[in-house]
Amino acid sequence: MTAAILDGKKLAETVREEVRGGVATFTKKYGRAPGLEVILVGEDPASQIYTRNKEKAAKDVGIRGKLHVLPTGTSESTLLAELYRLNADDAVDGILVQLPLPSQIRQSRVLDAIRPDKDVDGFHPTNAGLLTSGRPSLVPCTPRGAMKLLNLAIATLAHTTLEGAHAVVVGRSNIVGKPMAQLLLAANATVTLAHSRTKDLAGTCRQADVLVAAVGKAELVRGNWVKPGAIVIDVGMNRIHVAAASPGETSKTKLVGDVAFDEAKEHAAAITPVPGGVGPMTIACLLENTLIAAQARLAARG
């Protein structure tokens, strides 16, 4: 069996187009565009790329995106003061603080300080609790995007359903694993939340009708961990070194997922590639969350 490849770039473009339309309607109705404020503390190169891409993607669909870059040595109280200012600014609909943060800043203090109705990352305990209670509000962007790809897989493989399917999520982070498990549960899947300490991880994965890998370990999930006909969603983004092909040639780096793609695609019915799978969906869902947050806050005023 060779798997159907789930094209995240194409699906993300569809989501962005829908958001663009919604943003135009919002802007006409309320006389201003939705506003997204992205905060980066420090100079982590990957975070610099992610945050610039978020700002650019927002502007591209008509959202007023603004990136604030604060120095590495910024104190926790300075960052909190900035968040309180943005919380109180009526033209700001979405606030995102890029993670990880420098060690002098407590992540929990920062995430707790963002108003839940402007928390477009969906990381505030109120939003995490609402999701766990089956009353989703702002849902974390990566699992939200992964669910859209999963629904695309189900539409593509007409005979499959999530109802009663065994979904195995590998990775228990607050950003991906835990909210992903909640979304699958809400879709009536039977969910196993596995992690690095799970006994017989390979055997657990082999039981999965739907396998979601979100552990951050390059190509951990091998082809023979994939049940024939399973749907595989790879959330991993790991940069690895590739040996030089010949003496004198410099070594290169390559982006790979948590799944050994070439092996897994021979077993799965559908699989997401890396890059071009879940990655593009995350930013598209951030734009969607920003529009949802803006609409909800302004509609609440009647």
Hey, which residues are catalytic here? 54, 98, 121
Compute the distance between CA of residue 143 and CA of residue 288 in angstroms, rounded to an integer. 13
Helix (H, G, I), strand (E, B) or coil at 272: coil
Nearer to ligand GUN, 98 or 137 (CB): 98
Sign of the four-CA dihedral 254, 5, 150, 52 = positive
Are 209 and 226 contacting, i.e. CB atoms less than 8 angstroms apart? no
User: Nearest distance from residue 190's CB to ligand GUN, in Å?
Assistant: 27
Compute the distance between CA of residue 32 and CA of residue 259 in angstroms, rounded to an integer. 43
DSSP state of 251: P
Residue 130 interacting with ligand GUN (CB under 6 A): no
How many residues form the binding site for ligand GUN (CB under 6 A)? 8
Residue 142 interacting with ligand GUN (CB under 6 A): yes
Restricting to residues 171-200, name those near ligand GUN by CB under 6 A.
Answer: 175
One residue of 98, 182, 272, 295 binding ligand GUN per CB under 6 A:
98
Restricting to residues 77-96, name those near ligand GUN by CB under 6 A.
Answer: 96
One residue of 5, 80, 99, 186 binding ligand GUN per CB under 6 A:
99
Residue 141 interacting with ligand GUN (CB under 6 A): yes
Residue 121 interacting with ligand GUN (CB under 6 A): yes
Compute the distance between CA of residue 27 and CA of residue 32 in angstroms, rounded to an integer. 5
Helix (H, G, I), strand (E, B) or coil at 219: coil
Residue 290 interacting with ligand GUN (CB under 6 A): no
User: Nearest distance from residue 54's CB to ligand GUN, in Å?
Assistant: 9
Ranked by CB distance to ligand GUN, the top (closest) residue is 99
Q: Which residues contact 55 (CB under 8 A, 6 or more apart)?
A: 36, 38, 65, 66, 67
User: Nearest distance from residue 97's CB to ligand GUN, in Å?
Assistant: 6
Nearer to ligand GUN, 97 or 269 (CB): 97
Burial 96-124 (b: 16+ CB within 10 A, else e): bbbbebbeebeeeebbbbbbbbbbbbbbb
Q: Which residues bind ligand GUN (CB under 6 A)?
A: 96-99, 121, 141-142, 175
